[in-house]
A = this chain, B = another copy of it.
Protein backbone atom coordinates (compact mmCIF):
# COMPACT_ATOMS: atom_id res chain seq x y z
CA UNK A 1 0.00 0.00 0.00
CA UNK A 2 1.47 3.34 -1.10
CA UNK A 3 1.90 6.04 1.53
CA UNK A 4 -0.21 8.90 0.25
CA UNK A 5 0.26 11.25 3.20
CA UNK A 6 2.38 13.73 1.24
CA UNK A 7 -0.13 13.80 -1.60
CA UNK A 8 -3.00 14.16 0.84
CA UNK A 9 -1.26 17.24 2.28
CA UNK A 10 -0.73 18.61 -1.24
CA UNK A 11 -4.41 18.14 -2.10
CA UNK A 12 -5.43 19.67 1.21
CA UNK A 13 -3.28 22.74 0.55
CA UNK A 14 -5.05 23.25 -2.75
CA UNK A 15 -8.52 22.83 -1.22
CA UNK A 16 -7.68 25.42 1.46
CA UNK A 17 -6.26 27.85 -1.09
CA UNK A 18 -9.36 27.44 -3.24
CA UNK A 19 -11.60 28.00 -0.21
CA UNK A 20 -9.74 31.22 0.61
CA UNK A 21 -10.06 32.55 -2.93
CA UNK A 22 -13.74 31.62 -3.20
CA UNK A 23 -14.59 33.20 0.15
CA UNK A 24 -12.73 36.41 -0.80
CA UNK A 25 -14.60 36.57 -4.11
CA UNK A 26 -18.00 35.98 -2.49
CA UNK A 27 -17.28 38.66 0.11
CA UNK A 28 -16.38 41.04 -2.77
CA UNK A 29 -19.78 40.38 -4.29
CA UNK A 30 -21.42 41.27 -0.96
CA UNK A 31 -19.41 44.56 -0.92
CA UNK A 32 -20.69 45.37 -4.40
CA UNK A 33 -24.24 44.90 -3.08
CA UNK A 34 -23.55 47.27 -0.20
CA UNK A 35 -23.27 44.60 2.48
CA UNK A 36 -20.42 43.99 4.91
CA UNK A 37 -21.25 40.30 5.36
CA UNK A 38 -18.24 38.07 5.95
CA UNK A 39 -17.58 34.37 6.39
CA UNK A 40 -17.43 33.04 9.92
CA UNK A 41 -14.99 30.19 10.40
CA UNK A 42 -15.50 27.37 12.89
CA UNK A 43 -12.99 24.58 13.40
CA UNK A 44 -14.26 21.14 14.33
CA UNK A 45 -12.45 18.03 15.49
CA UNK A 46 -13.43 14.55 14.46
CA UNK A 47 -13.56 11.80 17.07
CA UNK A 48 -12.91 8.10 16.55
CA UNK A 49 -12.38 5.63 19.35
CA UNK A 50 -8.75 4.60 19.65
CA UNK A 51 -7.66 7.12 17.00
CA UNK A 52 -5.38 9.82 18.38
CA UNK A 53 -5.26 11.78 15.11
CA UNK A 54 -8.69 11.48 13.45
CA UNK A 55 -8.51 14.94 11.83
CA UNK A 56 -11.29 17.45 11.44
CA UNK A 57 -12.13 20.49 9.42
CA UNK A 58 -13.19 24.09 9.16
CA UNK A 59 -16.71 25.19 8.38
CA UNK A 60 -17.05 28.65 6.83
CA UNK A 61 -20.52 30.16 6.66
CA UNK A 62 -21.68 33.55 5.40
CA UNK A 63 -25.22 34.90 5.61
CA UNK A 64 -25.32 38.00 3.45
CA UNK A 65 -27.49 40.13 1.25
CA UNK A 66 -26.73 38.28 -1.98
CA UNK A 67 -25.76 34.95 -0.45
CA UNK A 68 -28.70 34.12 1.80
CA UNK A 69 -26.60 31.24 3.14
CA UNK A 70 -23.35 29.89 1.75
CA UNK A 71 -21.23 27.25 3.42
CA UNK A 72 -17.76 26.10 2.50
CA UNK A 73 -16.31 23.18 4.40
CA UNK A 74 -12.74 21.91 4.11
CA UNK A 75 -12.01 18.74 6.02
CA UNK A 76 -9.12 16.31 6.29
CA UNK A 77 -9.84 13.10 8.17
CA UNK A 78 -8.32 9.65 8.60
CA UNK A 79 -9.01 6.45 10.47
CA UNK A 80 -11.00 3.27 9.97
CA UNK A 81 -14.42 2.87 8.45
CA UNK A 82 -17.04 1.09 10.53
CA UNK A 83 -16.94 -2.59 9.42
CA UNK A 84 -20.44 -2.64 7.91
CA UNK A 85 -19.72 0.55 5.95
CA UNK A 86 -16.19 -0.39 4.79
CA UNK A 87 -17.46 -2.91 2.23
CA UNK A 88 -19.35 -0.20 0.37
CA UNK A 89 -16.24 1.89 -0.28
CA UNK A 90 -13.81 1.51 -3.18
CA UNK A 91 -10.62 -0.29 -2.04
CA UNK A 92 -11.82 -0.83 1.53
CA UNK A 93 -13.23 -3.85 3.34
CA UNK A 94 -13.93 -5.02 6.88
CA UNK A 95 -10.37 -6.42 6.85
CA UNK A 96 -8.89 -3.22 5.38
CA UNK A 97 -11.02 -0.43 6.80
CA UNK A 98 -8.26 2.25 6.82
CA UNK A 99 -8.93 5.47 4.93
CA UNK A 100 -8.01 9.11 4.61
CA UNK A 101 -10.05 11.84 2.96
CA UNK A 102 -9.49 15.52 2.26
CA UNK A 103 -11.89 17.71 0.38
CA UNK A 104 -13.75 20.94 -0.13
CA UNK A 105 -17.52 21.14 -0.23
CA UNK A 106 -19.56 24.23 -1.05
CA UNK A 107 -23.28 24.96 -1.26
CA UNK A 108 -24.69 28.44 -1.89
CA UNK A 109 -28.35 29.32 -1.44
CA UNK A 110 -29.03 32.77 -2.89
CA UNK A 111 -31.40 35.46 -1.68
CA UNK A 112 -32.62 36.40 -5.15
CA UNK A 113 -34.59 33.58 -6.83
CA UNK A 114 -33.26 34.64 -10.23
CA UNK A 115 -29.72 33.78 -9.11
CA UNK A 116 -28.99 30.04 -9.28
CA UNK A 117 -28.04 28.08 -6.20
CA UNK A 118 -24.91 26.02 -6.69
CA UNK A 119 -22.98 23.09 -5.31
CA UNK A 120 -19.29 22.30 -5.80
CA UNK A 121 -17.23 19.59 -4.15
CA UNK A 122 -13.85 18.00 -4.86
CA UNK A 123 -12.02 15.44 -2.75
CA UNK A 124 -9.07 13.05 -2.56
CA UNK A 125 -9.57 9.69 -0.87
CA UNK A 126 -7.24 6.87 -0.02
CA UNK A 127 -7.98 3.31 1.07
CA UNK A 128 -6.11 0.42 -0.59
CA UNK A 129 -6.78 2.65 -3.60
CA UNK A 130 -6.36 6.39 -4.06
CA UNK A 131 -8.68 8.52 -6.13
CA UNK A 132 -10.22 11.91 -6.75
CA UNK A 133 -13.87 12.71 -7.04
CA UNK A 134 -15.98 15.79 -7.28
CA UNK A 135 -18.24 17.91 -9.36
CA UNK A 136 -20.41 20.96 -9.52
CA UNK A 137 -24.03 21.45 -10.43
CA UNK A 138 -26.23 24.46 -10.96
CA UNK A 139 -29.60 24.68 -9.22
CA UNK A 140 -31.64 27.62 -10.49
CA UNK A 141 -35.14 27.98 -9.03
CA UNK A 142 -35.86 29.99 -12.18
CA UNK A 143 -33.64 28.60 -14.96
CA UNK A 144 -32.12 30.77 -17.71
CA UNK A 145 -30.78 28.95 -20.78
CA UNK A 146 -27.91 31.46 -21.03
CA UNK A 147 -26.70 30.65 -17.49
CA UNK A 148 -27.02 26.91 -17.98
CA UNK A 149 -25.09 27.02 -21.26
CA UNK A 150 -22.26 29.13 -19.88
CA UNK A 151 -21.96 27.00 -16.75
CA UNK A 152 -21.70 23.84 -18.83
CA UNK A 153 -19.37 25.44 -21.39
CA UNK A 154 -16.92 26.45 -18.69
CA UNK A 155 -16.77 22.93 -17.23
CA UNK A 156 -16.59 21.45 -20.72
CA UNK A 157 -13.47 23.56 -21.30
CA UNK A 158 -11.94 22.45 -17.99
CA UNK A 159 -12.63 18.79 -18.80
CA UNK A 160 -11.46 18.94 -22.42
CA UNK A 161 -8.07 20.31 -21.45
CA UNK A 162 -7.41 17.02 -19.65
CA UNK A 163 -9.23 14.24 -21.45
CA UNK A 164 -11.52 14.30 -24.50
CA UNK A 165 -13.96 11.87 -22.87
CA UNK A 166 -14.29 13.59 -19.49
CA UNK A 167 -17.01 16.13 -20.22
CA UNK A 168 -19.46 13.74 -21.86
CA UNK A 169 -18.92 11.09 -19.20
CA UNK A 170 -19.02 13.47 -16.26
CA UNK A 171 -21.99 15.45 -17.53
CA UNK A 172 -23.94 12.21 -18.00
CA UNK A 173 -22.90 11.09 -14.52
CA UNK A 174 -24.21 14.35 -13.07
CA UNK A 175 -27.50 13.90 -14.91
CA UNK A 176 -27.84 10.45 -13.37
CA UNK A 177 -26.64 11.42 -9.91
CA UNK A 178 -28.47 14.70 -9.31
CA UNK A 179 -31.85 13.11 -9.89
CA UNK A 180 -34.73 12.74 -7.44
CA UNK A 181 -36.26 9.32 -8.24
CA UNK A 182 -39.34 9.71 -6.07
CA UNK A 183 -40.21 12.96 -7.87
CA UNK A 184 -38.96 11.85 -11.27
CA UNK A 185 -37.13 15.16 -11.72
CA UNK A 186 -33.54 16.40 -11.80
CA UNK A 187 -32.60 18.57 -8.85
CA UNK A 188 -31.19 21.27 -11.12
CA UNK A 189 -29.77 21.80 -14.62
CA UNK A 190 -26.74 19.59 -14.12
CA UNK A 191 -23.04 20.10 -14.39
CA UNK A 192 -20.36 17.47 -13.90
CA UNK A 193 -19.89 14.62 -11.43
CA UNK A 194 -16.89 12.29 -11.24
CA UNK A 195 -15.67 9.66 -8.81
CA UNK A 196 -13.03 6.95 -8.57
CA UNK A 197 -10.64 8.91 -10.75
CA UNK A 198 -7.92 6.48 -9.77
CA UNK A 199 -4.30 7.38 -9.06
CA UNK A 200 -2.24 4.29 -9.94
CA UNK A 201 0.96 6.09 -8.93
CA UNK A 202 2.23 9.57 -8.02
CA UNK A 203 2.24 10.64 -11.67
CA UNK A 204 -1.42 9.65 -11.80
CA UNK A 205 -1.99 11.70 -8.64
CA UNK A 206 -0.40 14.75 -10.27
CA UNK A 207 -2.57 14.41 -13.38
CA UNK A 208 -5.76 14.01 -11.39
CA UNK A 209 -4.90 16.84 -9.01
CA UNK A 210 -4.27 19.10 -12.02
CA UNK A 211 -7.73 18.24 -13.34
CA UNK A 212 -9.35 18.71 -9.94
CA UNK A 213 -7.63 22.11 -9.63
CA UNK A 214 -9.09 23.11 -13.00
CA UNK A 215 -12.56 22.08 -11.83
CA UNK A 216 -12.12 24.46 -8.90
CA UNK A 217 -10.81 27.21 -11.19
CA UNK A 218 -13.74 26.74 -13.56
CA UNK A 219 -16.17 27.13 -10.66
CA UNK A 220 -14.42 30.26 -9.40
CA UNK A 221 -14.45 31.73 -12.89
CA UNK A 222 -18.05 31.08 -13.92
CA UNK A 223 -20.25 31.16 -10.83
CA UNK A 224 -19.49 34.75 -9.74
CA UNK A 225 -20.33 35.90 -13.29
CA UNK A 226 -23.78 34.30 -13.03
CA UNK A 227 -24.33 35.84 -9.59
CA UNK A 228 -23.37 39.35 -10.72
CA UNK A 229 -25.62 39.04 -13.77
CA UNK A 230 -28.81 38.55 -11.78
CA UNK A 231 -28.24 39.59 -8.19
CA UNK A 232 -30.01 42.94 -8.68
CA UNK A 233 -32.91 41.54 -10.73
CA UNK A 234 -36.38 42.36 -9.43
CA UNK A 235 -38.43 39.49 -8.14
CA UNK A 236 -42.00 38.97 -6.96
CA UNK A 237 -43.30 37.22 -3.84
CA UNK A 238 -44.38 34.43 -6.22
CA UNK A 239 -40.77 34.08 -7.43
CA UNK A 240 -39.58 33.79 -3.83
CA UNK A 241 -42.29 31.23 -3.06
CA UNK A 242 -41.22 29.18 -6.09
CA UNK A 243 -37.64 29.31 -4.79
CA UNK A 244 -38.71 28.08 -1.34
CA UNK A 245 -40.68 25.17 -2.82
CA UNK A 246 -37.79 24.32 -5.06
CA UNK A 247 -35.54 24.26 -1.99
CA UNK A 248 -37.82 21.62 -0.47
CA UNK A 249 -36.83 19.34 -3.37
CA UNK A 250 -33.19 20.21 -2.77
CA UNK A 251 -33.46 19.23 0.92
CA UNK A 252 -35.16 15.96 -0.05
CA UNK A 253 -32.32 15.08 -2.40
CA UNK A 254 -29.62 15.86 0.13
CA UNK A 255 -31.26 13.98 2.99
CA UNK A 256 -32.51 10.93 1.09
CA UNK A 257 -29.93 10.34 -1.64
CA UNK A 258 -26.72 12.32 -1.33
CA UNK A 259 -23.65 10.12 -0.91
CA UNK A 260 -21.61 12.89 0.66
CA UNK A 261 -24.23 13.28 3.39
CA UNK A 262 -24.20 9.53 3.99
CA UNK A 263 -20.38 9.43 3.99
CA UNK A 264 -20.30 12.20 6.58
CA UNK A 265 -22.92 10.62 8.81
CA UNK A 266 -21.19 7.21 8.62
CA UNK A 267 -17.70 8.50 9.35
CA UNK A 268 -18.44 10.66 12.35
CA UNK A 269 -18.21 13.93 10.47
CA UNK A 270 -19.32 17.20 11.99
CA UNK A 271 -23.08 17.35 11.81
CA UNK A 272 -23.24 21.10 11.18
CA UNK A 273 -20.69 20.77 8.38
CA UNK A 274 -22.51 17.82 6.81
CA UNK A 275 -25.90 19.50 6.89
CA UNK A 276 -24.54 22.92 5.93
CA UNK A 277 -25.92 22.14 2.47
CA UNK A 278 -29.50 22.39 3.67
CA UNK A 279 -31.33 25.53 2.60
CA UNK A 280 -31.79 28.38 5.07
CA UNK A 281 -35.53 28.17 4.53
CA UNK A 282 -37.74 25.77 2.58
CA UNK A 283 -41.43 25.12 2.17
CA UNK A 284 -43.50 22.07 1.29
CA UNK A 285 -46.90 22.94 -0.09
Q: What residues make up the interface of A, taking CB atoms closer than 8 Å to B?
A: 69, 182-183, 244, 248, 251-252, 255-256, 265, 271, 274-275, 278-285
Contact = CB atoms under 8 A, between A and B. Distances in A.
A192 B265 CA distance: 27
Question: Nearest 10 pairs between A and B by C-beta?
Answer: A255-B255, A278-B284, A281-B283, A182-B265, A255-B256, A182-B271, A282-B282, A252-B255, A280-B283, A280-B284
Contacts of A279: 284
Given A244-B281, A281-B283, A275 B252 contact: yes
Contact of A271 (B183, B244, B274, B283): B183
29 contacts: A69-B284, A182-B265, A182-B271, A182-B274, A182-B275, A183-B271, A244-B281, A248-B278, A251-B251, A251-B255, A251-B282, A252-B255, A252-B275, A255-B255, A255-B256, A256-B256, A275-B284, A278-B284, A279-B284, A280-B283, A280-B284, A280-B285, A281-B281, A281-B282, A281-B283, A281-B284, A282-B282, A282-B283, A282-B284
Q: How many copies does the complex hold?
A: 2
Nearest to A248: B278
A9 B282 CA distance: 39
A233 B115 CA distance: 39
Nearest to A269: B182
A255 B249 CA distance: 11
Contacts of A69: 284
Given A183-B271, A280-B284, A280-B285, 16 more contacts: A69-B284, A182-B271, A182-B275, A248-B278, A251-B255, A251-B282, A252-B255, A252-B275, A255-B255, A256-B256, A279-B284, A280-B283, A281-B281, A281-B282, A282-B283, A282-B284
A263 to B, nearest CB: 12
A255 B280 CA distance: 17
Nearest to A283: B281
Nearest to A262: B256
A86 B274 CA distance: 32
Contacts of A278: 248, 284
